[in-house]
Amino acid sequence: MAQLSIRNVRKNYGPVDILKGIDIELADGEFLVLLGPSGCGKSTLLNIIAGLTDVSSGEVRVGDRVINDVHPKDRDIAMVFQSYALYPNMSVAKNMEFGLEMRKVERSVREAAVAKVAKLLQIEHLLARKPAELSGGQRQRVAIGRALVREPKVFLFDEPLSNLDAKLRVEMRTEIKKLHQRLGTTIVYVTHDQIEAMTLASRIAIMKDGLVQQLATPAEIYDRPANMYVAGFIGAPAMNFLRGQIAQQEGKLGISALVTAHGAQGPRFLPLADPAPQLGGWLGRDIVLGVRPEAISIAGTVEPVAQLAEVEAEIDLVEPTGADTLAYFSMGGATTVARIRPQDVAGAGGTMRFAIDLSRSSLFDPQTEVRLN
């Protein structure tokens, strides 16, 4: 295990910039998830760490060692691929020990390492089988086992669960989390699945267009997104973005937004109990209020808090999801969704009074989309 440092890493193909200056410091034993849509540069960054892609400029370090020009096999890094990349003509045991064999490790040491890892991953009964005789989840365990037997300083995972069905993906996600907790390994994990990122990571780097938009813990990214892109990317359903203006009413700063109720649209004032000092200079200016669906409830069904604002709105659509129900209504010129209890919701076309917990909200500059509070 070791620290991993990525310092001002850039990658370009001619005039096309894929990575535009990535800086990440990863502590020993951390689990970093690179999260973002296709084309954001996350897999390119992973391949640079692995040595499969050359860096255009910048520096990659493992511990005190700069590895920019080190051959992939000499970097002491193991990678688990999306496609498993198992040798079809070899048994599970042979697949797992092949890397050690290429490094001229003694047979007895190889066999001991395979036995240890197979027990850890609960695949001892599969050692004599070929990959074609395994399920997707079993193949993924073998691929992970092949990386583990090498005992590298850093593990890289390239969307390892994307080929699995939903149920198996949840199970394997749990196994990877347990594995990290037991071994304390340094891991960099690439995915476009926000649930994987939120459940696995000690920190998440959210990427867009070759840049890191925010690098923080899952809780901080969810509660205090750095900008509207991060806020909208994380969460299902995504954060509501309500357009309005900073206004003042009875000496209190708040947000004036349009709400549809009883077939008519009119302004509603949402008071801010503890506004950030800089918001005083925003009086009369446009702003974007970001509210998670779970921060909107039916009035009277939650304990009152200092920043609870109530609005009456007409329900446009109701989506039952089992434990919760999603209620859609129009507010701030956009469709807004609330996550509420099934027994509290009215049908589409009805009018309900909602309570918005503004202590859990975010305020953004509509021009730069950067967080203000």
Residue 204's domain is classified under what CATH number?
3.40.50.300
Same domain, 135 and 27: yes
Domain boundary among 188, 212, 233: 233
Has this prediction a pTM greater than 0.85?
yes
- Is residue 114 in a domain? yes
- Is residue 369 in a domain? no
Domain count, the chain: 2
The sign one gets for the Cα dihedral 143, 25, 216, 363 is negative
Same domain, 176 and 35: yes
The CATH number for 281's domain is 2.40.50.140
d(CA 353, CA 314): 9
- Is residue 373 in a domain? no
Same domain, 54 and 191: yes
- At 92, which amino acid appears? V
User: Three-state SS for 186?
Assistant: strand
Domain boundary among 214, 233, 252: 233
Same domain, 272 and 184: no
Query: Rounded to the nearest 5 degrees, what angle is found at the Cα of 124, between the Cα atoms of 126 and 102?
Result: 80
Domain boundary among 218, 233, 248: 233
Query: Per-residue confidence of the chain (373 residues) as pLDDT tens digits?
Result: 579 999 999 999 999 999 999 999 999 999 999 999 999 999 999 999 999 999 999 999 999 999 999 999 889 899 888 888 888 999 999 999 988 888 888 889 988 999 998 888 889 999 999 999 998 888 888 988 888 888 889 999 998 888 788 888 888 888 889 889 988 889 999 999 999 999 999 999 999 999 999 999 999 999 999 999 999 999 989 999 999 999 888 888 888 887 766 666 778 888 887 787 788 788 889 999 999 999 998 887 766 665 778 888 888 999 998 888 999 998 877 899 999 888 877 777 788 888 898 888 999 999 999 999 8
